[in-house]
Amino acid sequence: MPNNAFLPFRPLRPSTLVYNPLTSEAGTLGYIARQGQSRYLVSCAHVLIGKGQHPQPIYQPSDEDGLGPVAETSATMIDHEFDMAGARVFEAVSCVNEPLVFGPLRGTWIDPDVGMRVVKFGATTGATEGQITSVEAGRFRIALPSFYPGGGTLSAAGDSGSLWIELESRRPVGFHYLGGIGSQAFAYARIGREVMSRLGLQEL
């Protein structure tokens, strides 16, 4: 069932639905960053990047809302290995780093750590909570907190790109890009600080 993430948000903000008509899957706007004077919305490459030439239009929430695209892709702002990408936000479109439900982020990127409790708001599942169970090269794994009963939800299709945030500090940790459902729900996220470095992006 669509939630508030499917609404057309201006200013643009994390946790909302983004869509490229040239891809097969909508996803979630994770973060707003900059490169020089240009601003970029960050999400998964499989969400933002379709087949064909660049630039490609990015809509929020869709190409059927009548509002036109909010950003465009670039061949130089893609990291296929990490499945992450950025799309340049048009100058006329305002944006803020205030995810739905959680409000303004309260600091810079924090590195993931085993046991850290994190939350995200994805365009499909809304707000979910997890706990980091392992940290690997470039990514970390998230499971439901140990006190949750079986059968809980972490993520679903359409949540790709959403921002995992440390529960206590409200600092950003990483970008959701892969998940599993069922009794052993899990999620994987790319370490945010590394994504920013690999794409050549800075904080607003």
- pLDDT, one tens digit for every residue, the chain (204 residues): 457 999 999 999 999 999 999 998 899 999 999 999 999 999 999 999 999 999 999 999 999 988 999 999 999 999 999 999 999 999 999 999 999 999 999 999 999 999 999 999 999 999 999 999 999 999 999 999 988 877 788 999 999 999 999 999 999 999 999 987 655 789 999 999 999 999 999 999
Dihedrals φ, ψ of 169, to 5°? -90, -15
Same domain for 121 and 87: no
Residue 49 tokens read as: 């990047």
The amino acid present at 115, given as its one-letter code, is: G
What pLDDT, on a 0 to 100 scale, did the predictor assign at position 182?
Answer: 59
Nearest partner of 82 among 165, 197, 202, judged by Cα: 197
pLDDT for res 2: 58
Residue 110's pLDDT is what?
A: 98
Residues in the chain: 204
Into how many domains does the chain fold? 2
Give the CA radius of gyration of the chain: 16
Question: What does the pLDDT read at residue 185?
Answer: 87
Look up the CATH number of the domain holding residue 135: 2.40.10.10
Rounded Cα distance, 154 and 169, in Å: 20
Instruction: Determine the pLDDT at residue 32.
Output: 98
Domain identity same for 88 and 138: no
**Is residue 28 domain-resident?**
yes
Q: For residues 57 and 59, what is the distance between their CA atoms, to the nearest angstrom?
A: 7
Residue in the structure block whose two tokens are 């994504």: 195
Q: What are 112's two structure tokens?
A: 């993931």
Could you tell me if 20 and 90 lie in one domain? yes
Residue 89 shares a structural domain with residue 123: no
Give me the domain span that covers residue 79.
4-97+197-203
